[in-house]
């Protein structure tokens, strides 16, 4: 079983978000923020019915409902790190990301609107 993600230090998160905002973020910043925001989502929406994937950094299972034990879960949400960070931080709305194809979501409960932004 994979180790559970943990939220990052608030100072590290703020510094990485500032670099994202000014366009100087690197892969380490994207990794830190992706894992941080996935950990926050996992804490706020515990469950196993939706798998949120942000390759190549991490994936989590969240939201109460049908639990899967093998293969692809009943709902999958996948996006790149930049999109995930923008959604989680409130810089991008779910409807806009979904409508422009920046998010690939399938299955019941795959709409994360109720959980975003994460702050």
pLDDT surpassing 80 at residue 48:
yes
Can you give the pLDDT at residue 69? 64
Domain map (residue ranges) of the chain? 10-115
Tell me the fold of 10-115: Nonspecific Lipid-transfer Protein; Chain A (3.30.1050)
| Orientation angle between helical segments 81-89 and 27-44, nearest 10 degrees | 50
pTM for the model: 0.92
Reported as a single tens digit per residue, the pLDDT across 71-106 is 677 799 999 999 999 999 999 999 999 999 999 999
């Amino acid at each position: 079983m994979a180790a559970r993600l943990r939220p990052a230090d608030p100072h590290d998160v703020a510094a990485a978000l500032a670099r994202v905002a000014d366009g100087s973020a690197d892969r380490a910043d994207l990794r830190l923020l992706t894992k941080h925001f996935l950990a926050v989502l996992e804490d706020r929406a515990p469950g196993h019915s939706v798998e949120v994937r942000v390759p190549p950094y991490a994936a989590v299972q969240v939201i109460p409902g049908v639990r899967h034990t093998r293969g692809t879960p009943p709902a999958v949400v996948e996006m790149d790190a930049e999109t995930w960070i923008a959604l989680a931080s409130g810089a991008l709305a779910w409807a806009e990301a979904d409508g422009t194809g920046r998010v690939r979501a399938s299955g019941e409960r795959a709409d994360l609107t109720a959980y975003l932004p994460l702050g």
